[in-house]
Amino acid sequence: MTERITVRRVMSPEDASALVGTRAPNLDPTHPFSAIFVNSETSEPIAAYLPLADAAPLRRALMTIDTTGGVQRQSNYRSKSRTFGYAPRRPVTRRESCALTLLGVEDPATERLLESYADQFSAALLDIDPAIVDRDTERLGDVLPDWRIGEAKLWTSGVINDTAALPYHRDGFNFPTWSAMPVVRRGVRGGHLHLPEYDLVLACADSTVIYFPGKLLVHGVTPMTRVRSDGYRFSVVYYALQGMRNCREAAEEAAYGRARRTQREADMAARLAAGDRKIPGQGGKTSAVARLRTQLKGDNEGWTAESRYTGGTKQ
Ligand SMILES: [Fe+2]
């Protein structure tokens, strides 16, 4: 039976908001591994720090995934990340329909493997408190099953963060439901998760999972130093995106996306015929694969944790 540790709220959500965008200092872990943390006033769980079962396949997969596509150039902060699972419509990046992320298209075996861990995490959430699963299921009510991950269908998407000391943030695009964050690491010091509202610092040791509601609680990662040149710290966050509420059934969504693209191409042809020379990419030859990449590239723009801390405005 996992130990339940009572923790006191030491900072209001409003005060925690003032930390958003700033960096966590170097902090030592406040609690040992394997515990469920319970609010002293409400007796409700606020986070849990538990073992990751069967870490080896996840570690192997993470070592092979290219995370360089997720670098956020527009912010001062640079980190490597990659999304998986499903992404909502985002016409601004020409993603006209809800769809599987690029990782899922390019590497279905890895996508399946990442998704398979969701069952372990939803089982753990049931152990923490069945009320969390009931409440989260209710909160995701409108999201169609086509766009959900795992048997319990508590999440729609995920992000892999590669050795990223993310500043304090809330997960602005998410439902206010619990996320699961497995970590695998070697040869890196620091990189602990800080929840300032409870002054909780969890080590994020190798082969562990942290569960907490990332939209509700401000969180940040303490600085990291590599003690080995090949050191790494991968955190994978399984979460539920609010944008998936607007997705239709997968088949309908694909047809809608095709129709929108056809319309856009027709509009472009009309503009070209009318002598419009300002159309980007005009005259260039673009392969079908390159078009797909462009269309899906938005998966890694705006959805990664480091940009999500800016709030929910990009969606
Ligand atoms: Fe986060």
Ligand 1 geometric centre to CA of 162 (Å): 13
Nearest alpha carbon to residue 101 among 80, 115, 116, 82: 82
Average pLDDT taken over every residue of the chain: 85
pLDDT for the residue numbered 254:
75
Phi, then psi, of 285 in degrees rounded to 5: -95, 130
For 117-162, strand residue ranges (E) read: 157-162
Q: Mind listing the pLDDT tens digit for each residue in 33-72?
A: 999 999 999 999 999 999 999 999 999 999 998 888 654 4
pLDDT for the residue numbered 122:
96
Pick among 3.40.640.10, 3.65.10.10, 3.60.130.30, 3.30.2130.10: CATH of 4-248+293-308: 3.60.130.30
The model's confidence at residue 211, banded by pLDDT at 50, 70 and 90, is very high
Pairing of strands 232-239, 157-162: antiparallel
Ligand 1 geometric centre to CA of 178 (Å): 11
Q: Which one has a higher pLDDT value, 300 or 209?
A: 209
Ligand 1 geometric centre to CA of 212 (Å): 10
Ligand 1 geometric centre to CA of 214 (Å): 5
Q: What percent of the chain has pLDDT over 70?
A: 84
**Residue located via tokens 């969701």:** 118
pLDDT for the residue numbered 303:
37
Ligand 1 geometric centre to CA of 30 (Å): 20
Enumerate the domain spans of the chain. Answer: 4-248+293-308
Q: Mind listing the pLDDT tens digit for each residue in 96-135?
A: 788 899 899 999 999 999 999 999 999 999 999 999 999 9
What pTM was estimated for this model as a whole?
A: 0.82
